[in-house]
Structure 1
Amino acid sequence: MTDPWQDPALPAGVRAADLLARMTTEEKVAQLYSVWPGSNQTPGGDMAPLQHALSEDIDLTRLLPHGLGQLTRPFGTAPVDPAEGAARLAALQERIRSANRFRLPALAHEECLTGFTAWRATVFPTPLAWGASFDPGLVKEMAAAIGASMR
């Protein structure tokens, strides 16, 4: 039997309420936590402002039993081949899911306002330039391209 939170036929609010009712306080708090894998291992300096100031060694074995809310910049911290990065992210997500009782993955946070902010990815104009184009169709096309590159 499937628990209500796992039933895609139910409304999202019903599913979320059921899952939250089943979670411990520790599991809920863990969903607020984020780690930045590799942030303290970039040769040649920071890739982002305050990167090393916000870094610490991560003990995933200690963190994962309660779950994990977010993975910060799994592609954007250091240059990585897209296929290699996707495989590494999938393996890390499986580790996260396997370690917590609800098998919840973490959200993967990447920057994408001007395109997927990763090595060899296309960089698109900023939102100010979108407005200056006066072409909503072009903006929609660009947003679709950004979305496709994130998948």
Structure 2
Amino acid sequence: VLIEKDHAWASRKPSKRALQLAFFSGALTICERAGMLKSYELPERHFGWERAPRPATEKQVLDYLLDRALRSQGIVSLDSVCHLDAPRKPAIRELIETRLRRRTLVPVTIEGAGKQEHWAQPAMLEPTPAPDAELVHI
């Protein structure tokens, strides 16, 4: 049964929900876009795989999340790394502690942040001279 849209950006068609479920479960991939219109394909056909690659391990996912946050933000907090993913906070906290022991991360104190802890990679905190430019240094 088709249900009318309640606003211009929404669709409640069962076919859209089925496509989204298949996409988010990895059964389909988006192979083409024309504006807002998406075309879906089986991943094996689109990528030419004989068999699908193995999914990332939880450790690989955690490393990726922390590295992505550090790369994009420079200085991170547990909340910024785990934004909208609170169940991963204990595992990310453990990864941060491991990197602190290995000295690949250092704690950073930010004035006015209260009890909120922050971390950065040591190289991020070292000044880098730029020719003919004013330096911005954290």
Q: TM-score range by the shorter chain?
A: under 0.3
Query: What TM-score, normalized by structure 1, do the two folds share?
Result: 0.22
Q: TM-score, normalised by structure 2?
A: 0.24
Pick the structure with greater CA Rg.
2
Q: Pick 1 or 2: higher relative contact order, CA cutoff 8 A, min separation 6.
A: 1
- Structure number with higher strand proportion: 2
